[in-house]
Amino acid sequence: MGEWVEREPSYLSFDVYNCAYCGKMIPRHIWFEETDDQRQAFCNPDCSSRFRLARQRAHTEESTDTSTG
């Protein structure tokens, strides 16, 4: 479960968030979701679900599958 957070424009100049999954810079609307008791920032809910899937796969299988990043 996550939530959208809209940042104040004044924060933009010195504090930048990047999506925990795709690494894209998130300018304004951040999707926050807790994974392993950590609050992560994502550019959208889709990335957060992909992030969780990737972590689950990493736990089950050691081999790294390098698909589109």
Cα–Cα distance, 5 to 57 (Å, whole number) = 28
Q: How far is the CB of 48 from Zn ion (least distance, A)?
A: 8
Distance of alpha carbon 35 from alpha carbon 4, whole angstroms: 15
Q: What strand order describes the sheet that includes 2-6? A: 2-6, 29-35, 38-42
Span 10-49, contacts to Zn ion by CB under 5 A? 19, 21-22, 24, 43, 47
Pick between residue 18 and residue 56 the one whose CB is nearest to Zn ion: 18
Q: For the CB of residue 19, give the shortest distance to Zn ion in the complex, in Å.
A: 3
Site residues, Zn ion (CB under 5 A) = 19, 21-22, 24, 43, 47
